[in-house]
Amino acid sequence: MKKILILHTGGTISMQENKETGGVTTSDRNPLHQWDGIASENVDIISEDAFHLPSPHITSEHMLSLFQLMNKRLQETNADGVVITHGTDSLEETAYAIDLLHSSSIPVVFTGAMRSSNEISSDGPYNFITAVQTAANENVQGAGVLVVMNEHIHLAKYVTKSHSSNVASFQSPMTGPVGEATKHEILLYQQPERIDESFNVSYFNKKVLLMKTYAGMEENVFQHIISQPLDGVVIEAMGQGNVPSSLLKPIQSLIKQQIPVVIATRCFSGSVHAVYSYEGGGQHLKEIGVIFAHGLNGPKARLKLMAALESSFSLEEMKRSFEKK
């Protein structure tokens, strides 16, 4: 039997609805532990609480702590796979942070729920069971960190929460899911290839700002925000990577200070490209030294920039890293 390490971190999947007030919140007892037996029919389960937090309370320090705990427990238990339960609001960020740091071929699968454990048609138990079955499947060895939600298997790099409440919220707009997971079968449509990249992170506390562009964005507002002590900036630009011309001077100022500026797109799908040469256009930005985050949304580009900064990457190394597909 495969041995699967379960690490619970909190979130809706571990919460309950108060039938009197309608509010959903944490309780003293984690209801997920009652599902361990359901999921352990074909696998040996080792289950524990890493922490018990709503996912909006998760920080980058929690992400690193979770990664370190996971590695420690893998060494102690010799587990064949890992399942991490997590709140959905920041699940894609924690999953991607672990993906950046995880170099082993041991599968790591994140899952969560859009409905709390005692709500009608709660999706948590089924997501949990299929996540365990995925982590125990031979075909996902070496695939990196995966997210299993609503019978779909996604890569941590591309998955995002696309709807605030729908149980089919998690999508990978760039690629689609890489497989499907049911109680009876795990099917991969393709075998994901991992990029060989090494991040050496002892701390995860670099100050990297994420900002979203909008029409008529004011230079003085942007300038005021970036006047704070910063290690890097990620900008969710318009379209294929274009910003209002009012941001050019502040961006050039950051680059002169050797503070990396990374561009992602604010669009739900698609990537950034050096196409437009007008002031603030993607080609113009690339010429002045802005880094393009190919295929990553803003929150994930921020995490990757933090990992690169913590690993003491040079600006050229950062550019090469972000350019990898």
Q: State residue 126 phi and psi, 5-degree precision.
A: -70, -45
> How large is the C-alpha radius of gyration of the chain?
20
**Measuring CA to CA, which residue among 159, 97, 85, 93 is closest to residue 128?**
85
The residue annotated as part of the active site, out of 9, 12, 111, 265, is: 12
Question: What one-character DSSP code corresponds to residue 313?
Answer: -
Q: Residue 47, SS3?
A: strand
Q: Which H or E run contains 256? A: helix 248-256
> Helix 248-256 and helix 219-226: axis angle, to 10°?
20
Nearest to 131 by CA among 83, 195, 190: 83
Q: Is 213 a catalytic residue?
A: no
- 16 sits in which H/E element: strand 16-17
Q: Please give the C-alpha separations between residue 202 and each of 29, 101, 230, 308, in angstroms, as whole numbers.
A: 32, 11, 19, 12
Strands 108-111 and 145-149: parallel
93, with CB counted inside 10 A (0-12, 13-18, 19+), is buried
The neighbouring-strand residues paired with 5 are 46, 82
> Among all residues, which ones are annotated catalytic?
12
